[in-house]
Amino acid sequence: MPILQNSVRIVSNRRLAQDHYRLRLERPRSFPEIEAGQFVQLRLEEGWDPFLPRPLCLYEHSRLWMDVVYQVVGRGTAILSKKKAGASVGVLGPLGLGFPILLDGDTYVFVAGGVGIASLYLAAKELVRQVKGRARFILLFGLKSVGMLHCHQDFRELGFELRIATDDGSYGKKGYVTGLVEQLFEKEQLGRVWVYACGPRPMFLALTGILPRFGQDAYLSLDEHMACGVGVCLGCAVKTVRGNGDPYRLVCKEGPVFKMSEIDWESKK
């Protein structure tokens, strides 16, 4: 069961790269166990403005603290980036159903688009803890430009092979991360593969055009606009291809992680 804590102290709020920050919060004693890929809803101010809390994935945690990594994209994240250690925010969480931890892979391919990397790290850490030495771990990371590079070293330290693409060619291969995905599956023998991915919608749409050619599915963490975060407002519904009854699923409660093959991508173009 998630808990709501109106005032959680900020331990630090550190800039990682252009427009990217890592926020460390004091972990409330009663905060439940966290699963890889779960998120929190952060209420940024005590008043009504901004009215809606902002969903952010939990990046890493200990008994005493929990971190989120976020990109400043609008008003809420800009307000958050100005907060200093000692200030506080409201926290509702942990929310959603995270990534399955599948232990029978020969190769684990993580595909991250921009700040999507933030939702993948806990799954990466847990998989490495459980299957290291028996499997290969690869991070394919795409971002706009080298100035936005962040979090990749954490994956390197876990033992991941890193392949990076930038839109402007300022680091790694020029182009989108999906080019790296295509190249990997075309050129290498990977055995049994599990793909974990998070990024913007165009990245997911491109993956739906690439992975099925190799008989490959993926677990995706979807990024939908959210209001309540707990399955009440129905604002985050996504259409699936499930045959029986209502095809809609709530990203906040039944996700954010879904199998790529479960989503009705035609309804999302």
Ligand X SMILES: Cc1cc2nc3c(=O)[nH]c(=O)nc-3n(C[C@H](O)[C@H](O)[C@H](O)COP(=O)(O)OP(=O)(O)OC[C@H]3O[C@@H](n4cnc5c(N)ncnc54)[C@H](O)[C@@H]3O)c2cc1C
Site for ligand X, rule CB under 6 A? 39, 54-57, 68-71, 73-77, 115, 118-119, 223-226, 256
Q: How far is the CB of 54 from ligand X (least distance, A)?
A: 4
Q: Closest approach of Cβ 222 to ligand X, in Å?
A: 7
Q: Which does 227 bind (CB under 5 to 8 A by kind): ligand X, ligand FES, none?
A: ligand FES
Q: Quick one: 143 or 226, whose CB is closer to ligand X?
A: 226
Q: Does position 220 bind ligand FES by CB under 6 A?
A: no
Contact between 4 and ligand FES per CB under 6 A: no
Closest to ligand X by CB, 65 or 214: 65
Residue 41: contacted member of ligand FES, ligand X, none (CB under 5 to 8 Å, by partner type): none
Work out whether 226 is an interface residue with ligand FES (CB under 6 A): yes
CA torsion, points 7, 96, 158, 187, in degrees to nearest 10? -150
Interface with ligand FES (CB under 6 A), residue from 232, 241, 264, 267: 232
Residues 230, 2: Cα–Cα separation, whole Å: 9
Q: Which is nearer to ligand FES, 53 or 172 (CB)?
A: 53
In the shown chain, the binding pattern of residues 139 to 178 toward ligand FES, with x for contact by CB under 6 A and - for none, equals: ----------------------------------------
Least Å from the CB of residue 227 to ligand FES: 5
Work out whether 238 is an interface residue with ligand FES (CB under 6 A): no
Of 110 and 185, nearer to ligand X (C-beta) is: 110
Q: Which of 56, 135, 252, 260 binds ligand FES (CB under 6 A)?
A: 252
Residue 163 has, within 13 A of its CA and on its CB side, a CA count of 18
Alpha-carbon Rg for the chain, nearest whole angstrom, is 18
Q: Which of the listed partners (ligand FES, ligand X, none) does 180 bind, with a CB threshold of 5 to 8 Å by partner kind?
A: none
DSSP state letters, the chain: --EEEEEEEEEEEEEEETTEEEEEEEPPTTPPP--TT-EEEEE--SSSSS-S-EEEE--EE-SSEEEEEEE--SHHHHHHHT--TT-EEEEEEEESB--------SEEEEEEEGGGGGGTHHHHHHHHHHHBTTBEEEEEEEES-GGG--SHHHHHHHT-EEEEEETTSSSSEES-HHHHHHHHHHH----SEEEEEE--HHHHHHHHHHGGGGT---EEE-----SSSSSSS-TTEEEB---SS--EEEHHHH-BEEEGGGB-GGGG-
Residue in 250, 257, 260, 263 binding ligand FES, rule: CB under 6 A: 250
- The site for ligand FES (CB under 6 A) is made up of 226-229, 231-236, 250, 252
